[in-house]
């Protein structure tokens, strides 16, 4: 490697070039994928890594994937030394206990080889519509072991210099419900690796290997400096926040999450989850890779919003999550619903940092993936699966109300169009609207949750992985709670019944109506200090009822209009 310092202009060109390579990979996946989970919801990510496995560029997709590919990639590098990685090789894993997230998230990697040297690695991660297991979409809310959650792929090589391992795909396809869809998505990921590797190689050849590697090192160092300076803004002391999960779906006892954040004298940040409950029987445990990613999102959102993160951004952050506890479970604990916790990790991290930086404080957001799954067998026996994530309201923040019905930053997933849902699954959407009064009252109101009513047109099964059904979404500084979520079923001729937030295989019949109501965001500040014109507008738009205006805000519409 060259001993001279890299040119700042070259560094910026390389940075943007690597980001563009990651975005081109992402575009290739989107255009080639088969499932609505990847193609429409965009539940996937792409990135470029250095030869040690540290991420140096990524696409703008799913924040929970932040740095989540580094642990699995480094495990692969332990098993397959870098010197043996060749052009055309592809490596794969979905193992949550090798640093992954959960089994539906399959990761693929390929080397960037220039003049016989592996100078970088490209990778993709995608959430697959089904990877087997006891329940459709591989979401069994009553799973008690990871073995029940799907097909486990240990870190391994599946393509050698362009030649597939002929045993892998038939074995994989035989163990999943949607082989054409899932294998199609996997091939889209692998095809994107070729595009990414080619783009990165072009950058390397333009500047030369030595200058490219020097620029990559400087990009990581620069990101580390930015994060270290941001940490330095925090005052001394410890900042603590906590939240509670409804239950794991089996034992149904509340599960507590606690965080304490401390800044050291040399501007390192310790994010300590000591005091959080032990791992649970149900599938909401969060593997350490997912826990770390949620921490990195929460800290980046508060300390350096708008910055371009890479592995240097995360180096000054030390995460303490004890093994055997819910944020770092021991094998074979089930983990498919880990997003119940990753959302809350982000919530409590942002809440704790908000105590240190009040001008950046915000009330809690809806904080849950709200996974709902409809599954159906056609007359020919083929499986059809509709996987959706219901989004909700964000918390009020200084100077602004919380956004309504917006995919929370940990996810950043895209909405499933109603027309597509009705085309791909035997159902009809009767209503899709904001929930009046679901946002927590406050000087800055919490964002609204959503209501979706679905008419079932064929025999099918419903499964869900919801939370925040028992407890409201916390407000801040006198703000009110956001409304909890609700699931309801109306059968023909019967009364409406409530459905638990975590359920598997509930039989639905033609004519049944399923109603999904997502959570609102917490309010910020005393509601009686709310701007009168803003309150009146809320009522006119149907976001706040006259009853809430009077009882929560202390206003009368006739008097303020």
Closest CA to 199 of 75, 392, 17, 322: 17
Give the model's confidence band at 3: pLDDT under 50 very low, under 70 low, under 90 confident, else very high: low
Give the model's confidence band at 306: pLDDT under 50 very low, under 70 low, under 90 confident, else very high: confident
How far apart, in whole angstroms, are the C-alpha atoms of residue 38 and residue 27?
11
Kindly report, residue by residue over 367-396, the tens digit of the pLDDT. Answer: 888 999 999 999 999 999 999 999 999 999
Query: Within 13 A of 148's CA, how many CA atoms are on the CB side?
Result: 18
User: What pLDDT was estimated at residue 409?
Assistant: 74
Whether the full predicted model's pTM is greater than 0.75, yes or no, is: yes
* pLDDT of 430 over the 90 cut: yes
How far apart, in whole angstroms, are the C-alpha atoms of residue 388 and residue 518?
12
Cβ–Cβ under 8 Å, residues 457 and 377: no
Burial of 185 (0-12, 13-18, 19+ CB in 10 A): buried
Q: Provide mean pLDDT across the span 133-138.
A: 96
Percent of the chain exceeding pLDDT 70 equals 98
Q: Provide mean pLDDT across the span 446-473.
A: 97
Kindly report, residue by residue over 216-273, the tens digit of the pLDDT. Answer: 999 999 999 999 999 999 999 999 999 999 999 999 899 999 999 999 999 999 999 9
* pLDDT of 2 over the 60 cut: no
Q: Provide mean pLDDT across the span 468-475.
A: 95
Residue 180 belongs to what H/E stretch? helix 179-207
Tell me the pLDDT of the chain averaged across its residues. Answer: 95
Contacts of 147 (CB under 8 A, 6+ apart): 332
N- to C-terminal Cα separation, the chain: 70
User: What pLDDT was estimated at residue 66?
Assistant: 67
User: What pLDDT was estimated at residue 60?
Assistant: 81
Q: Provide mean pLDDT across the span 451-464.
A: 97
Q: DSSP 3-state assignment of 371?
A: strand
How far apart, in whole angstroms, are the C-alpha atoms of residue 147 and residue 175?
13
* pLDDT of 119 over the 90 cut: yes
DSSP state of 305: T
């Amino acid at each position: 490697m060259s001993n001279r310092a890299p040119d700042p202009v070259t560094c910026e060109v390389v940075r943007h070039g690597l980001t563009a390579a990651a975005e081109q990979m992402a575009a290739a996946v989107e255009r080639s994928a088969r499932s609505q989970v990847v193609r429409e919801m965009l539940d996937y990510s792409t990135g470029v890594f250095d030869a040690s496995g540290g991420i140096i560029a990524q696409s703008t997709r799913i924040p929970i994937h932040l740095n989540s590919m580094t642990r699995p990639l480094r495990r692969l590098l332990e098993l397959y030394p870098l010197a043996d990685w060749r052009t055309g090789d592809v490596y794969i894993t979905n193992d949550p206990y090798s640093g992954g997230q959960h089994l539906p998230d399959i990761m693929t990697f390929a080397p960037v080889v220039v003049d016989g040297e592996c100078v970088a690695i490209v990778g993709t991660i995608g959430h697959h519509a089904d990877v087997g297991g006891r329940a459709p979409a591989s979401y069994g809310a009553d799973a008690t072991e990871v073995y029940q959650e799907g097909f486990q792929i240990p870190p391994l090589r599946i393509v050698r210099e362009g030649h597939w391992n002929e045993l892998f795909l038939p074995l994989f396809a035989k163990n999943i419900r949607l082989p054409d869809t899932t294998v199609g998505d996997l091939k889209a990921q692998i095809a994107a690796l070729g595009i990414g590797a080619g783009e990165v190689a072009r950058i390397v050849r333009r500047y030369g290997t030595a200058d490219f590697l020097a620029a990559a090192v400087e990009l990581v160092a620069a990101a580390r400096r930015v994060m270290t300076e941001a940490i330095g803004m925090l005052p001394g002391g410890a900042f603590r926040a906590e939240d509670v999960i409804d239950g794991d779906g089996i034992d149904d006892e509340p599960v507590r999450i606690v965080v304490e954040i401390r800044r050291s004298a040399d501007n390192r940040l310790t994010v300590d989850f000591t005091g959080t409950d032990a791992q649970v029987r149900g599938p909401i445990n969060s593997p350490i890779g997912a826990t770390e990613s949620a921490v990195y999102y929460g800290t980046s959102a508060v300390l350096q919003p708008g910055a371009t993160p890479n592995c240097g951004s995360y180096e000054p952050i030390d995460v303490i999550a004890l093994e055997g506890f819910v944020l770092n479970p021991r094998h074979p604990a089930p983990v498919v619903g880990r997003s119940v916790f990753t959302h809350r990790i982000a919530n409590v991290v942002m809440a704790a940092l908000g105590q240190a930086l009040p001008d950046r404080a915000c009330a809690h957001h809806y904080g849950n993936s709200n996974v709902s799954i409809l599954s159906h067998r056609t007359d020919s026996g083929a499986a059809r699966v509709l996987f959706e994530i219901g989004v909700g309201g964000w918390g009020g923040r200084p100077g602004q109300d919380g956004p309504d019905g917006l995919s929370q930053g940990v996810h950043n997933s895209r909405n499933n169009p109603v027309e597509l849902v009705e085309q791909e699954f035997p159902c009809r959407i009767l209503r899709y609207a904001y929930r009046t009064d679901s946002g927590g009252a406050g000087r800055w109101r919490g964002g609204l949750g959503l209501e979706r009513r679905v008419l079932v047109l064929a025999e099918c099964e419903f499964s869900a992985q919801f939370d925040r059904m028992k407890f409201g979404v916390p407000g801040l500084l006198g703000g009110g709670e956001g409304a909890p979520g609700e699931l309801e079923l109306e059968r023909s001729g019967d009364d409406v019944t409530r459905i638990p937030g975590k359920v598997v295989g509930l039989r639905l019949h033609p004519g049944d109506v399923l109603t999904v109501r997502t959570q609102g965001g917490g309010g910020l500040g005393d509601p009686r200090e709310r701007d009168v014109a803003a309150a009146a507008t809320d009522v006119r738009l149907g976001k706040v009822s006259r009853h809430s205006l009077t009882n929560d805000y202390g206003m009368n519409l006739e008097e303020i209009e």
